[in-house]
Structure 1
Amino acid sequence: MKIIILGGFLGAGKTTVLLQYARSLISHSTQNGNPVVILENEISEAGVDNQLLSRNHFLVKNIFSGCICCTSSAQLEQSVREIERNYSPEYLLIESTGMAYPDSVRRTLRDAGSWDTGIVALVDCKRWHKVKCAMPDFVTSQLKDASVILANKIDKVNENEQREVIADVSRYNSSARIFPISAIKKQPDELWTKITSLCLGKG
């Protein structure tokens, strides 16, 4: 089982990206049953994102009792082991809450097992400067260990602003590949394939 952690700030578009990514993984999988399982981390029990994913016919599991990078690390490990045992998916996509630290989530998983694990981080091009000024340490923690960073919502900024955001983001993680996208549009399957390869050390 391969694990991709999807991190990013609140409102950056994680669920929209997750829907596209999961569909692409499923379409290219040769595995029967449940090739992709999604693990949601919702602080609120309302589970709005979970309802959206379920309506789109994805198998979704949830962790509700707190942020998975801190208070629920044991529950995270237990949930991942249960998913592997009960469903044996080819891929597990973990959408962490916008307040989680993806590097801590990956550390928990690496300490718990031998899963191949990668991080994709999202930034909101429109709100980038506001977010980085308001929460500089949090921004660093979100981006520093990502293999791939998706600069989302490029439809909301002009070309100069887009270039400025991407240049600024690269200062937080010079080794990550940064892809500008507008997740409201369908992205090519080649992009998702490249992201998977980069996250799992094959790109």
Structure 2
Amino acid sequence: MKEKIPTTLFSGFFGVGKTTAIASLLSRKPDEEKWAILVNEFGNVPVDQIVFKDNASDVLIREIPGGCMCCVANIPMKKAITDVLSLAKPDRILIEPTGLGHPAGIFDELNEDPLDKQLDIGSIICLADPRFALDPRIQKVDIFNDQINLADILIASKSDLVSSKDLKKFYSWAHDLFPPKLIISNISNGNIPLEYLDNKKHIVHDSFFSNDHKNHASSTTLEIEKISPRRPSRSINESAGYIGSGWIFSKKDIFDLEGLRRCLGPFGLFQGNNFERIKGVFRVGQGWVLLDRINGELSIKPITYRRDSRLEVIIPQNSKISWDQTEKKILECIN
């Protein structure tokens, strides 16, 4: 009988550091092993896979855009995994759902025929930002509770940015959770111990969600062939109470870095509670940068990607944002 492939499912809300954690694991991957990553982004403009490619060029990456991978349809996820198994024959698979991903639904899909005969599903690893995880508004979100509920390993991410008092509160809350977690720990810079990938699944129980959540996603299609300088293609995706707008810009568009910082930073277009996540890759001068914003934190760092510029913005459904005006302001950042 063919040996099953170790597979780890990551979960966590927007901005908790899932991509950073997987990128860190890739940087420490044993040289003799072949890994594959299945990445699911909320919108139709993928950015996370670019981050992965920047950290490990020898890893096979497959993406499923447009919402929760178990909601957009069973076929894309199963086909993506089947393709990965046939193309790469990996020694290990890592799966990163969108921040709105329902781990119970994804876990169920992975345990259905024929994937259950091919994959050895390990512990579900959930990351939570200890600065926000105990916020009453977050605690009321069903998706957040679903992610926490199904986790075998619960990790306080970005622990270098939290006070010792708040970290102690997080641990106290986490230790009171039922079912109890296999491991509760904290990390900085995404440095999850490699050995966590070999822990087995031990929590089995129902999700907070019924199956009717699978049918509530809508999106518009990117028109890549129509992209030209200062004329990007835009796609809107709507699901689970959130709206994502993604843009792909021409490779010839060169952005002003300070303009982007003013436009997309804490004092720009998106302030307060009118957005959830901003993530993009932009050509600035002779190079490209990765721009990442969650709450008031803006991170900008170099990246080796060179194909085009792209941006994904995720907002709550009730936010009063004009995508036309947003696009106009972003285009003003082009030199």
Pick the TM interval, shorter chain: 0.7 to 0.9
Residue 165 of structure 2 corresponds to residue 165 of structure 1: no
SS in 1 for 2:184: strand
Deviations 1:55-108 (A, max 9, x none): 222431111143112222221111111111111001111110000011211110
Q: What CA distance in whole angstroms lies between the structure 1 residues aligned with 2:25 and 2:148?
A: 19
Q: For 1:67-106, what aligned pairs fall within 5 Å after superposition?
A: 67-106=68-107
Alignment of 1:18-29 (within 5 A): 18-24=22-28, 26-27=29-30
Match in the other structure for 2:10? 6
C-alpha separation between the residues in 2 aligned to 1:83 and 1:129?
37
Give the distance between the partners of 1:23 and 1:117, measured in 2 at CA: 22
Counterpart pick for 1:179 among 181, 185, 204: 185
Aligned to 1:37: 36
What is the aligned partner in structure 1 of residue 19 from structure 2?
A: 15
Write the letter of the residue equivalent to 1:5.
Answer: L
Alignment of 1:192 onto 2:194: yes
Deviations 1:138-188 (A, max 9, x none): 22210222221111111122222111112212315413311111125x56x
How does the TM-score come out when normalised to structure 2? 0.53
Residue 55 of structure 1 pairs with residue 54 of structure 2: yes
Q: Distance in 2 between matches of 1:88 and 1:43?
A: 27
Contact 1:120 1:199 in 2 (8 A): no
Structure 2 residues without counterparts, runs of 5 or longer? 203-335
* Alpha-carbon distance between aligned partners in 2 of 1:175 and 1:200, rounded to the nearest angstrom: 11
Q: Name the structure 2 match of 1:133.
A: 139
- Deviation track 1:110-139 (CA, whole Å, cap 9, x = no partner) reads 11322111311100011112253341x222
**Alignment equivalent of 2:121, drawn from 117, 120, 132:** 117
Give the fraction of aligned pairs with identical amino acids, expressed as a percent: 23
**Partner letter of residue 8 of structure 1?**
G
Quote the Cα distance in structure 1 between the aligned partners of 2:73 and 2:178.
Answer: 27
Report the TM-score, using the length of structure 1 for normalisation.
0.85
**Equivalent pairs, count:** 190
Distance 1:65 1:160, change over 3 A: closer
The letter for the 2-side match of 1:22 is L
Contact 2:12 2:128 (8 Å CA) reproduced: yes
Aligned mate of 2:159, from 148, 154, 161:
154
Stretch of structure 1 that moved more, 72-81 or 3-12: 72-81
Q: Which amino acid aligns with 2:37?
A: I
Report what 2:237 is aligned to: none
Please tell me whether Structure 1 or Structure 2 has the larger radius of gyration of its CA atoms: 2
Higher strand share: 2
Structure 1 runs of 4+ off > 6 angstroms? Answer: none
Unaligned runs of 5+ in 1: none
- Larger relative contact order (C-alpha < 8 A, sep ≥ 6)? 1
Q: Which letter does structure 2 place at the counterpart of 1:62?
A: E
Over aligned residue pairs, what C-alpha RMSD do you find? 2.0
Confirm or deny: 8 A CA contact 1:41 1:68 kept in the other structure: yes
The Cα of 1:200 is off from its aligned counterpart by: 5.8
Instruction: State the distance in 1 between where 2:179 and 2:23 align.
Output: 26
